[in-house]
Amino acid sequence: MNPSQQNILRNLPPVQTLVDHPAVKPLIDELGREVVLQWVRVELDQARTRLLESDQTALDREAITEEITEAITQRAASAEQTRLGRVINATGVILHTGLGRAPLSKNAQAALTDLAESGNVEIDLQSNKRRYRGHQLLPAWQTLTGCEDSVVVNNNAAATLLTLQALCAGKEVVISRGQLIEIGGSFRLPEIFELSGAILKEVGTTNRTSITDYEKAIGPETAAIMCVHPSNYRVIGFTATPNIQELTQLAHARGLLSIDDIGSGSLIDVTRFGLPAEPTFQESIACEADVVLGSGDKLLGGPQAGIIIGKSACVERIRNYPLARAVRVGKLTLAALSATLDSYLRNSAEEEIPTVALLAATEEQLVNRAKAIQNEIGEQEKLTVVIETGMSPVGGGSLPGAELPTAVLALEHSHLSADEMTQKLRLAKIRIFGRIQNDKAILDLRSILPDDDSKVALAVRLLAAH
């Protein structure tokens, strides 16, 4: 290193000077000393390299310090944007997989806080004996569905794998070819069968399967008939398939098990909201299916979970199977799920569970909320906010093709494109995830929780200031 380069490097600030800088010091309390120190060292190294490789005369220490601290604060801002945290769902898709699907009710959130400390997770307080995890939820499942027993695992994919492996490994399971679903994350039912050790026996065609097809497929190695609801797609036109009642009657007549995967895990009749019919837990139990599977974080409106309910003889085998421990849920999931079921027991799901409330909201209610938000935003010089009506898809992995009427806030900015507006809303202090339509930034009231309306108004006002 020549004397000129040495002279340049003398102006690099010491690490402690950067750590004590007014722009950097608050970041230590917020993000941790080790994280900030790592950024300081990286930025110092990069500044050293730039100075040695450049032909410029030496910068003074103040200028170099300002350059480095600016880079550190940018790193902090980027880290904040990528951290797991709250986002307001303004896409219109109520059950948005990328945004965590069902928002939890206030009661479920309170239950999470309550059970954050010690709780009777695997203890029976009356007998002081250890019990299986989730036993506290069984009375609710029995009352709501008429089932005999229940198990809760971490998602419905795990529920399917566990059920097939515990009840059908090494045996055939008959299923319609039109129900061999694939869901997000490369979950393919044939691969789950292979992993479980159960032997997949396809019958019928993609669009039509008859009860006779099932009858012909049953043999000495058959253990069960399985019905899987295609919750993320819909086949229309020249279609036919036996319902769960027909399949259960056939299964029991032949001494087989009936397994029904209802997918979205509904406990209510969604047709009253103007949506296509979805199978429910209680309907399947009423048809005497031996095991019924469903999701906890879709139409049920609770936390991510795989629900397994049905006959005690089957559910107990599933619960005691070794894989069950590997896919069991933690206490916080049980707490949120228990509180969600309590809302159904009180017959107050439409008022207390956000997913159900959002599905039930009328177009008039959404338009009135949009007007209130528009008034709160007020007149803005650079931004126009127009209320429009239309249709919103309900979910990605639920109610395929189903739409509900909605009201949206359509935003246009004098010098920001729709893409720039949606990006700024996503990365702002109040993070809002919207969509783009007709070159406008769209905030869809169908998926926005009413408690967030004022936050949306504030975020839009801040956007107008750009």
**Tens digits of residue pLDDT in 421-442:** 999 999 998 999 999 999 999 9
pLDDT at residue 232, rounded to an integer: 58
pLDDT average, residue stretch 344-373: 97
pLDDT average, residue stretch 205-210: 86
| pLDDT tops 90 at residue 347 | yes
- Is the Cα dihedral 336, 339, 344, 349 positive or negative? negative
pTM for this prediction? 0.89
**Which residue type, as a one-letter code, is found at position 137?**
L
Give, for 318, the enclosing helix (H) or strand (E): helix 312-320
Number of H helices, E strands in the chain: 20, 17
Among 389, 391, 385, 403, which residue's Cα sits nearest to residue 441?
A: 385
| pLDDT tops 60 at residue 2 | no
Which tokens go with 174?
Answer: 């008959």
Task: Give the residue range(s) of CATH 3.40.640.10 domains in the chain.
Answer: 106-352
pLDDT average, residue stretch 225-237: 76
Instruction: Give the model's confidence band at 84: pLDDT under 50 very low, under 70 low, under 90 confident, else very high.
Output: confident
pLDDT at residue 55, rounded to an integer: 55
pLDDT at residue 396, rounded to an integer: 60
pLDDT at residue 298, rounded to an integer: 94
- Residue-by-residue DSSP string for 196-253: HTPEEEEES-SSB--HHHHHHH--TTEEEEEEE--TT----SS-B---HHHHHHHHHH
pLDDT at residue 227, rounded to an integer: 95
Higher pLDDT, 181 or 59: 181
Which tokens go with 400?
Answer: 């395929």
Question: Residue 241's Cα: distance from chain center in Å?
Answer: 30
pLDDT at residue 47, rounded to an integer: 86
Q: Comparing 45-59, 93-107, 407-421, which segment has the lowest mean pLDDT?
A: 45-59
Measure CA of the first residue to CA of the last residue in the chain; give whole Å: 47
**Which residue type, as a one-letter code, is found at position 98?**
G
Task: Give the residue range(s) of CATH 3.90.1150.180 domains in the chain.
Answer: 88-98+358-464
How big is the CA angle at 87 (ends 84 and 93), to the nearest 5 degrees? 120
pLDDT at residue 60, rounded to an integer: 79
Question: How far is 274 from 258, CA to CA, in rounded Å?
Answer: 30
Q: Are 324 and 165 in contact, with CB atoms under 8 Å apart?
A: no
- Is the Cα dihedral 32, 33, 36, 39 positive or negative? negative
Question: How far is 397 from 101, CA to CA, in rounded Å?
Answer: 9
Does domain 106-352 correspond to CATH entry 3.90.1150.10?
no
Instruction: Give the model's confidence band at 240: pLDDT under 50 very low, under 70 low, under 90 confident, else very high.
Output: confident
Instruction: Give the model's confidence band at 57: pLDDT under 50 very low, under 70 low, under 90 confident, else very high.
Output: low
Higher pLDDT, 142 or 399: 142
3-state DSSP assignment of residue 322: coil
pLDDT tens readout for residues 300-339: 999 999 999 999 999 999 999 999 999 999 999 999 999 9
CATH of the domain spanning 88-98+358-464: 3.90.1150.180
Instruction: Give the model's confidence band at 368: pLDDT under 50 very low, under 70 low, under 90 confident, else very high.
Output: very high
pLDDT at residue 95, rounded to an integer: 93
Question: How far is 64 from 67, CA to CA, in rounded Å?
Answer: 5
Burial class (CB in 10 A: 0-12, 13-18, 19+), 254: middle
pLDDT tens readout for residues 11-33: 788 899 899 999 999 999 888 99
Instruction: Give the model's confidence band at 218: pLDDT under 50 very low, under 70 low, under 90 confident, else very high.
Output: very high
Mean pLDDT computed over every residue of the chain: 92
pLDDT tens readout for residues 371-427: 999 999 999 999 999 999 999 988 766 676 789 999 999 999 999 999 999 999 999
pLDDT at residue 440, rounded to an integer: 97
Q: Are 280 and 267 in contact, with CB atoms under 8 Å apart?
A: yes
Q: Are 254 and 276 in contact, with CB atoms under 8 Å apart?
A: no
Higher pLDDT, 177 or 346: 346
**CA dist 30 → 39, 75, 79 (Å):** 14, 13, 12
Helix axes 106-114 and 331-345, enclosed angle (nearest 10):
140
Instruction: Report the relative pairing of strands 222-228 and 257-261 from DSSP bridges.
Output: parallel
Strand order across the 403-413 sheet: 383-393, 403-413, 440-444, 435-437
pLDDT average, residue stretch 121-142: 94
Residue entry with tokens 């959002």: 358
Beta bridge partners of 328: 153
Instruction: Give the model's confidence band at 289: pLDDT under 50 very low, under 70 low, under 90 confident, else very high.
Output: very high
pLDDT at residue 398, rounded to an integer: 66
pLDDT at residue 5, rounded to an integer: 59
**Which residue type, as a one-letter code, is found at position 394?**
V
pLDDT at residue 9, rounded to an integer: 72
Among 392, 401, 304, which residue's Cα sits nearest to residue 90?
A: 392
216: CB partners within 8 A, 6+ apart? 203
Q: Comparing 44-58, 92-106, 296-310, which segment has the lowest mean pLDDT?
A: 44-58
